[in-house]
Structure 1
Amino acid sequence: MRKFIRLFSKKRTMHFEHTSSGGGWFFDVEKKLQSAKTQWQKIDVVKTKEFGKALLLDGITQLTEAQEYQYHEPMAHVPLLAHKNPKKALVIGGGDGALAQEILRHPSIESLDFVELDEGVINFCKKHLPDLGGDAFNDERVKLHIQDGRAFVENAEKEGKTYDAIFMDMTDPEGPCIALYTKEFFEIVSNLLKDDEAFFIMHAESPDLRLKTFQRIMHTLKAVFPSVQEMVSHVRMYGGMWTWAIASKGFNPKKFDAKKIPAVIEKRGLKNLKIISSETWESFFRLWPVYKAVLDEEGEIATDANPGYAME
């Protein structure tokens, strides 16, 4: 149940959404700025009382102006800072452009293939959220592909394309995008990695809110990639604890010397980072033991024939 509800008076509108089977969060909405229904989903851009503008897809919060950095900064910069010289990047999903904008801050990036199924999301964000990511599409390094992410990587594999860095910023594993959370899809992605230092990063849900989904994603990745490193932080707009998975043939930012972070940040001109520093670096790799133990248990693997994600 994810919808706008009115409480207490006609003048107060609240958005509520479940983040787990029995709980969720809410925020006050001052007004809807624009709503539309595309071929794929319903899009809303609203002005909130506390968090600035918010982007919702099918009633699910994708980002807020006040909190988006909590998700996009670690996802982009933790693996890129640990990579010696990332040049070619691929972004699957993330039509708001915020993740791409962070990636493009690294001067070594020469090209970025951007794959988004729903052009309506891009157009909404260009209009309403240009500072957060809408302007990324104007960067000459970006090549935009309006198509299904699975189809793109299948074609890229046939064409022999490879990348230093692959980012997947998809909605939750349900509906049309579930085909991008299976062993078969990850096998194709693995073949697109340029070398042992190349990486694939994706969000891995919240072990605190959706433990079984987190476990299934991680087990499926480990069935394909020799190295899978979980990364954890706090993302308020998604309900609290959140994780990402960094998969590769050998690359692991956990092994990167935290003392080198300030020098790399300065060399690449990455000003005003809000989360990442030499002091916080190791915290991204400190998953609580109670959730770490789940990764040591036997678990099912998602396949094309049986994705099996229950969002719990």
Structure 2
Amino acid sequence: MWLTQGVVDIVKNEYKVKEKVFEQGGVEVYNSGYFGKIIVSNGKALYCEHDSMIRHEIAAHTAMCSHEEPKRVLVVDGGDGAIAAELLKHKDITIDVVERDANIVDAAKVFGCYDKALEDERVNLIIEDTVQFLGNAKDGAYDIVIINRFDEIYLNDKAVMAHVNRILSEKGLVVMDASSQLFDMAGHKEVLSAFCCEFKIVMPFRYTSMVRPGGEQWFALGSKFFHPTADVNLQRADLTDGFKWYNSDIHVSQFALPTATFNLLKAYIKR
């Protein structure tokens, strides 16, 4: 059996899978063997067991190690528990996880890698419309916001970033998925543009995915104060236990851009 992922008109990805082990409300989990389990939402493969450490370590620890002393973290659309599990490697933090799709929480139990993180006493799971939650959150409530977006179009980026700016503390920062530079440069620019409206520092950074379009995916970081490469906390980046992929060298290098790409994006980057 093959899991087919459409990318653009001229590219299609297919992955050999053994069986479907979960299906509910548009969310599926496949057992592939080679890639481990693959979680799919609304026809899009989100990540697999073999690349999940890359995606989630990069998202969580780039944010945590770019801030001097983060205490309060919000994860938007984090009901799979993966980013929360990474954040829990850091001490003295509390984590709110808001998830709009309860099916993701159920799928996470079948996926079986991260669901226990949601039961930790430092984690508060909220099932609610994410845009509504952001609109109702208190000013300055969080030091870090991580938006587990997966290129969903339901978010109005500029409206969401206005809320995020408001609910972040005075030195807060946000990390959000920013699509693919190879296959969706327009979408990538749209995210960066929304960040530029609200934040002093705006920089894209990349990660590698085995099941996302082309294998090349990007996050964006927006910061009110800290610079993600100049202010990286080396002790936290290199001495925190449990990392398999992330370290301070990865942290800095993932922000590097080819000259031609930087020239395409320089109107959207603030560094």
Q: Partner letter of residue 47 of structure 2? A: L
Are residues 21 and 212 of structure 1, via their aligned partners in 2, closer, same or farther at CA, if it must alter by over 3 Å? farther
What is the Cα deviation at residue 60 of structure 1? 0.7
Q: Among residues 195, 204, 215, which one is paired with 1:221 in the alignment? A: 195
* Aligned match of 1:304: none
Say if 2:1 is the partner of 1:24: no
Q: In the alignment, is residue 99 of structure 1 matched against residue 83 of structure 2? A: yes
1:264 pairs with 2:264: no
Greater shift in the superposed pair: 16-25 or 239-248: 16-25
Q: Which runs of 5 or more structure 1 residues have no equivalent in the other structure?
A: 1-12, 299-312
Q: Which amino acid letter does the alignment assign opposite residue 270 of structure 1? A: D
- Where does structure 1 differ by over 6 angstroms across 4 or more consecutive aligned residues? none
Aligned to 2:255: 285
* 8 Å contact from structure 2 (residues 179, 219) kept in 1: yes
Aligned to 1:67: 51
Q: Tell me the secondary structure at the aligned position of residue 136 of structure 1.
A: helix
Is contact 1:219-1:295 (8 Å) kept?
no
What's the secondary structure of 2:226's corresponding residue? Answer: coil
Deviation at residue 24 of structure 1 after TM alignment: 2.9
Larger Rg: 1
Q: Which residue of 1 aligns with 2:162?
A: 187
Which residue identity lines up with residue 31 of structure 1 in the other structure? E
Contact between 1:221 and 1:228, CA under 8 Å: does it hold in 2? Answer: yes
Q: Is 1:117 paired with 2:100?
A: yes
Aligned match of 2:111 in 105, 120, 129?
129
Determine if contact 1:115/1:147 at 8 Å carries over to the other structure. yes
Residues 68, 237 of structure 1: 8 Å contact kept: no
TM-score by length of 1: 0.80
Deviation (angstroms), 1:248? 1.7
Alignment of structure 1 residues 202-241 onto 2, 5 Å: 202-238=176-212, 239-241=214-216
Deviation at 1:274, TM superposition (A): 2.8
Tell me the matched-pair count: 267
Aligned-partner Cα distance in 1 for 2:80–2:221? 22
Root-mean-square deviation (CA, aligned residues, Å) is 1.8
Q: CA deviation at 1:282?
A: 2.3
CA contact (8 A) 1:94 1:170 kept: no
Greater Cα offset, 275-284 or 66-75:
275-284
Q: Following TM superposition, by how much is the alpha carbon of 1:161 offset from its aligned partner in structure 2, in angstroms?
A: 4.9
CA distance in 2, matches of 1:46, 1:195: 42
The percent identity for this pair of structures is 25
Q: Is the 8 A contact 1:87 1:164 kept in 2?
A: yes
Output the CA distance in 2 between the equivalents of 1:26 and 1:220. 33
**1:246 counterpart = 2:224:** no
Gaps of 5+ in 2: none
Report if aligned partners of 2:237, 2:248 keep a CA contact under 8 Å in 1.
no
Report how far residue 265 of structure 1 moved: 4.1
Residue 237 of structure 1, CA deviation = 2.1
Higher RCO by CA contacts (8 Å cutoff, separation 6 or greater): 2
Quick one: distance in 2 between partners of 1:279 and 1:216?
28
Hey, what does 1:178 align to over in structure 2?
155
- Is the Cα contact below 8 Å between 1:201 and 1:246 reproduced in 2? yes
Aligned-pair distance for 1:164?
A: 0.8
SS in 1 for 2:3: strand
Amino acid in the other structure paired with 1:219: S
**1:251-280 deviations in whole A, cap 9, x for unaligned?**
2211135xx63x32465x322x23323433
Contact 1:215 1:294 in 2 (8 A): no
Residue of structure 2 in register with 1:144 after alignment = 125
1:165-194 CA distance string (max 9 Å, x none)? 1100023232xx233x2x122111101111
Give distance in 2, aligned partners of 1:190 and 1:129. Answer: 33
Does 1:88 find its partner at 2:72? yes
Q: Matched residue of 2:211: which SS?
A: helix
The one-letter code matched in structure 1 to 2:127 is I
- Tell me the CA shift for residue 297 of structure 1: 4.8
Counterpart residue type for residue 129 of structure 1: F
* Contact 2:76/2:98, CA 8 A, preserved across alignment: yes
Distance, in Å, in 2 between the alignment partners of 1:264 and 1:116 is 28
Measure the CA separation in 2 of the matches of 1:21 and 1:144: 38
1:49-64 aligned within 5 A: 49-64=33-48
